[in-house]
Amino acid sequence: MPEMELPEAAPALEIRGLEAWYGESHVLHKIDLTVREGECVTLLGRNGAGRSTTLKAILGLTDRRAGSVRVRGQETIRLSTHRIARLGLGYCPEERGIYRSLTTQENLTLLPRLGPDGMSVAEVLALFPNLAERADSGGGRLSGGEQQMLALGRILTTGARILLLDEITEGLAPVIVEALGRAVALLKSRGFTIVLVEQNFHFARHLADRHYVIENGRVAAEIPANEVAAREAEVGRLLGV
């Protein structure tokens, strides 16, 4: 019997001709990318290529942006940041963005509900047991790894189903990177849509369905996971590894 092809899932994020500016500096030059529901997509590239800015531009966090960003079909280019987030986007910034004056518990319960099926605090603590021991510690007193777990854990409480994760492994010990890898794989298996900005290609290659390589604020290549092995040399050249 011939293998039946499953219909493609609807796009969760559809970005066309996205441009972004910081002040006078033109950072993104017509980025096109699509992320379907339940997909895990990475944005790879060198430092300063525009990967983190792409995530920020999706949320309207750059000074100015133009083009089209559709979240589940709804155009958001003219929406304010908080309205875009309320469409179900969870953001984990590169600097982690843990509130230092709030305790771990307060950080974890701070964010508003963005969707119906957010994880309970107990579920998040089961996913990241280290956080349970640090519930009353100030956010600024956590280690880098704990902060990263908290940054990821708190957006899971919101019910956001589209996760924008920026460099979540940066500067962390291998054991923490492994734990985060398991968490992202679990989220993917639960149907979350994930956009992962990564410099650590070895971390990203086993998690992602597709990779976009960003260079000078443009998409330089789109590589499906099943073509990575065949295009290893091209990926290495683009990433400079």
Partner 1 sequence: MDITLQAFMAQLTIGLIGGCFYALLSMGLAIIFGLLNIINFTHGAQFMMAAFLAWIGLTQIGPWLGYPDFQINFWVALVLAPLCVALFGMVIERTLLRRLYHLDHLYGLLLTFGVALVMEGAFRYAFGVSGQGYEPPEILQGPVDVGFMLLPKYRVFVVAASLLICFFTWYLFERTKLGAYLRAGTENPRLLQAFGINVPVMITLTYGFGVALAGIAGVLAAPIMQVTPLMGGNLLNIVFAVVVIGGLGSILGAMMTGLALGLIEGLTKVVYPEASTVVVFVIMALALLVRPAGLFGREA
Residues in touch with partner 1 (CB under 8 A): 59, 61, 80-82, 85-86, 91, 93, 97, 99-102, 106, 109-112, 114, 155, 158
In angstroms, give the least distance from the CB of 37 to partner 1. 20
Cβ atoms 84, 76 nearer than 8 A: yes
Give the closest residue to 15 by CA, choosing from 62, 64, 55, 63: 55
Of residues 101 and 226, the one with the C-beta less far from partner 1: 101
Kindly state the DSSP code that residue 227 receives in the 8-state scheme.
Answer: G
Of residues 195 and 213, the one with the C-beta less far from partner 1: 195
In angstroms, give the least distance from the CB of 143 to partner 1. 19
Query: What is the rounded CA–CA span in Å between residue 214 and residue 235?
Result: 11
Of residues 165 and 223, the one with the C-beta less far from partner 1: 165
Of residues 20 and 235, the one with the C-beta less far from partner 1: 20
First to last CA, the chain: 43
Q: What angle do CA 178, 180, 185 make, to 5 degrees?
A: 95
In angstroms, give the least distance from the CB of 54 to partner 1. 14
In angstroms, give the least distance from the CB of 58 to partner 1. 10
Query: What is the rounded CA–CA span in Å between residue 154 and residue 159?
Result: 10
